[in-house]
Amino acid sequence: MPDRLPLVYHPDYVCPLPEGHRFPMPKFGMVNDILRAEGIAGDDNTFQPDIADESLLSCVHTPAYVHAFLTGALSDAEQRRTGLPWSEALAKRTRTAVGGTLLTARLALEHGIACNMAGGTHHAHPGFGSGFCIFNDLAVAARTLTREGAVSRVLVLDLDVHQGDGTAAAFQNDASVFTFSMHCQSNFPFRKTAGDVDIGLPDGMGGEAYLSRLEHELPGILDAARPDLVLYDAGVDVFSGDRLGKLDLSLPDIGERDEMVMSFFREGGIPLAGVIGGGYDRDVYALADRHCTLHRSACQVHGIEALGASA
């Protein structure tokens, strides 16, 4: 087990968006700032990813879609579906975040645990982007590692409040990747794409019921997936005050959820790579702090000490 939690971050995780845009882009830089202030992140344990190239992205996405996005050739309708206006900076940011999740997965295989400070773009389908998701970092990481032979089976454990429809679509004919999504049934996407196991929850479900259901599901998922690696989407849009969520979990509930997941797979000796997933709040700093629950929980479960504020 590492002395410090392996983390992945790049300044290009943040790029400009039009003023007033509802996607909280600054949160990624704030997550890094908070984790550094708490001594969880430092120069010695924070790694910068390589940018994903067209061939890497095309292991999941159609070459035509990859090329159209990277050259700024998406139609207005296709851009509206992603919810993000195209720019060269956005293209670079998106490719860097995909590279970040792949690096996080490699670090998890080496150290048993690693966490990205971005990731979870699970609405991106092979041929189109959707819901603030352009390329699917979880899917690219899973397919790359299985094709390389680094692992035989991957579990994508998606606890974002929204169903991971793009990830499900990518692996409908690929038995090497098992997809599990536990989400608010009435929330986006309104047309779900069936994964291996999908649990749709009712609006307003609170923490006690949520955690009980998750605890009940985990053993069966482990038996069905038999993974060599878990990619964990720790979306915080399950929070009761989230702008785009419909569940009612408190911040302690989210911490208990993350600790439950990490403890369960640690006890089984299965490496886990965490990504931050979705979260939406007008108070972007509060949102970033909420996302840091993932990294704090990783330290807690794995007995990794923060070293105090670092430069």
- Count Cβ atoms below 10 Å from residue 83 Cβ, excluding itself: 16
* Nearest to 118, CA basis, from 286, 276, 231, 305: 276
- Count Cβ atoms below 10 Å from residue 300 Cβ, excluding itself: 14
Name the residues annotated as catalytic. 123
Using H for helix, E for strand and C for coil, what is the string for the chain? CCCCCCEECCHHHCCCCCCCCCCCCCHHHHHHHHHHHCCCCCCCCEECCCCCCHHHHCCCCCHHHHHHHHCCCCCHHHHHHHCCCCCHHHHHHHHHHHHHHHHHHHHHHHHCEEEECCCCCCCCECCECECCECCCHHHHHHHHHHHHCCCCCEEEEECCCCCCHHHHHHCCCCCCEEEEEEEECCCCCCCCCCCCEEEEECCCCEHHHHHHHHHHHHHHHHHHHCCCEEEEECCCCCECCCCCCCCEECHHHHHHHHHHHHHHHHHCCCCEEEECCCCCCCCHHHHHHHHCHHHHHHHHHHCCCCCCCCC
Using H for helix, E for strand and C for coil, what is the string for 38-59? CCCCCCCCEECCCCCCHHHHCC
